[in-house]
């Protein structure tokens, strides 16, 4: 059991947890053991590709993620990190921003001299480890590419100071061990039921059929020489639903709240609770135009004790939260692939996170797991159940 989970007050108030100082060499050395003899590079995304020449984005307004990639990772590798880890390379390249989560990347990329290169020809075949620090997640496309070209990698989209000082500063051996304990506690589930309590007194229930499948984990370790891509920060147990029905609430980017109706694993309509009816109408129009955009492709549970970072990549890994995702799930072992969508830009994988800071307008009243004729409570009011805490203690 990790030290962070020994004190109940820290489980409920992760801001009380103390973290070691971020160390790039410790992170990469743990995640990618062995690193000796590996050639590594960094990928970032940019809207204006001319800003890659001479690292022009460093002087441009905005670009917080790209600047963090340069300052913490590029310079960290160049200023002794490569030598300490026994690696070579350390080059940085930029590719055109996708403007969508897990959309396939265009092949073009640019180096610091402003030269146009090809990801397939000039990058993927020539590096052993590829780190992608981007605005939008590239986990799905890089997972496919690593199997084709044989590299290992990590995606760290949305990285910020809080993530660096917490989610990327932890011991990933502990993260992996905790994720495995919770994975074993949930694997083989026949179904999951989630009750959502709304402010108006209604309780919505979503049922997700899992058919006894083996639970999977995102645990941060990408060791050995097997091609793989880790999503960092890690710390998650997840399933690929085979069926789903019922209702769940949705908080849209503009704050609008809606109720989503699910039939045969697909969101079929959204109904306004409060906010902007035009937002609901736009979602319904998208569902009507391309129904695949409403297909549920993931159910995930956080396994770490971490502070809120403001970025879903970390916040969905917090113990006591859960999330659903729509769209492609081929990178998770699912059957929803980009070619099934009407348009390329629709083939995203979009997480819907349920967490106190993210969705304060409704509560996760209870999450229940049905397995082998028994029912176990997993979460109540965004807190892990006694069943999950006992699993973490090894009981």
Predicted local distance difference test score (pLDDT) of residue 3: 44
User: Which pLDDT tens digit goes with each residue over 19-72?
Assistant: 999 999 999 999 999 999 999 999 999 999 999 999 999 999 999 999 999 999
User: Which pLDDT tens digit goes with each residue over 154-191?
Assistant: 999 999 999 999 999 999 999 999 999 999 999 999 99
CA distance 97 to 108: 11
Average pLDDT for 6-16: 67
Cis peptide before 233 (omega within 30 of 0): yes
Average pLDDT over the chain, rounded to whole?
94
CA distance 258 to 231: 29
Its pTM stands at 0.93
CA distance 88 to 84: 10
User: Which pLDDT tens digit goes with each residue over 384-393?
Assistant: 999 999 999 8
CA distance 61 to 182: 42
Cis peptide before 34 (omega within 30 of 0): yes
Q: Tell me the two tokens of residue 86.
A: 């026994």
Contact assessment for residue 253 and residue 353, using Cβ atoms and an 8 Å cutoff: no
Query: In the chain, where do the E strands start and end?
Result: 39-46, 88-96, 108-110, 116-118, 129-132, 152-155, 191-198, 203-209, 216-218, 228-231, 236-239, 243-251, 257-263, 266-274, 296-302, 322-327, 349-354, 362-371, 374-380, 383-384
Beta bridge partners of 196: 204, 364
User: Is the pLDDT confidence value at 222 over 90?
Assistant: yes
User: Which pLDDT tens digit goes with each residue over 61-115?
Assistant: 999 999 999 999 999 999 999 999 999 999 999 999 999 999 999 999 999 999 9
Chain centroid to CA 181: 20
């Amino acid at each position: 059991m990790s030290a962070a989970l020994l004190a109940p007050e820290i489980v409920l108030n992760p801001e009380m947890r103390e973290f070691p100082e971020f160390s790039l060499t410790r992170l990469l050395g743990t995640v990618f053991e062995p690193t000796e003899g590996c050639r590594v590079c960094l990928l970032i995304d940019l809207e204006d590709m001319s800003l890659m020449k001479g690292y022009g984005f460093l002087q441009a307004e905005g670009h917080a993620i790209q600047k963090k990639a340069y300052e913490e990772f590029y310079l960290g590798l160049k200023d002794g990190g490569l030598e300490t880890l026994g690696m070579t390379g350390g080059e940085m390249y930029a590719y055109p921003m996708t403007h969508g989560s897990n959309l396939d990347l265009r092949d073009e990329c640019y180096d610091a001299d402003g030269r146009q290169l090809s990801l397939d020809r000039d990058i993927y075949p020539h590096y052993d480890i590829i780190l992608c620090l981007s605005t939008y997640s590239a986990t799905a496309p890089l997972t496919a590419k690593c199997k084709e070209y044989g590299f290992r990698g990590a995606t760290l989209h949305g990285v910020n100071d809080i993530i660096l000082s917490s989610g990327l500063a932890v011991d990933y051996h502990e993260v992996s061990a905790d994720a495995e304990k919770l994975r074993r506690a949930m694997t083989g589930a026949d179904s999951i039921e989630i009750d959502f309590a709304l402010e108006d007194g209604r309780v919505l229930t979503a049922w997700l059929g899992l058919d006894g499948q083996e639970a999977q984990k995102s645990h941060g370790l990408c060791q050995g020489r097997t091609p793989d891509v880790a999503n960092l920060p890690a710390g998650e147990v997840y399933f690929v639903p085979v069926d789903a029905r019922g209702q769940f609430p949705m908080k849209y980017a503009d704050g609008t709240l809606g109720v989503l109706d699910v039939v045969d694993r697909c969101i079929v309509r959204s109904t306004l609770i409060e906010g902007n009816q035009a937002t609901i109408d736009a979602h319904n129009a998208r569902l009507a135009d391309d129904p695949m955009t409403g297909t549920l492709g993931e159910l995930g549970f956080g396994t770490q004790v971490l502070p809120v970072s403001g970025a879903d990549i970390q916040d969905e890994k917090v113990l006591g939260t859960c999330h659903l995702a729509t769209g492609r799930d081929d990178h998770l072992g699912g059957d929803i692939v980009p070619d099934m969508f009407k348009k390329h830009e629709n083939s995203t994988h979009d997480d819907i996170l349920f967490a106190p800071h993210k969705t304060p307008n409704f509560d996760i009243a209870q999450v229940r797991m049905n397995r082998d004729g028994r029912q176990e409570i997993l979460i109540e009011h965004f807190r892990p159940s006694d069943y999950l805490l006992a699993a973490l203690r090894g009981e």
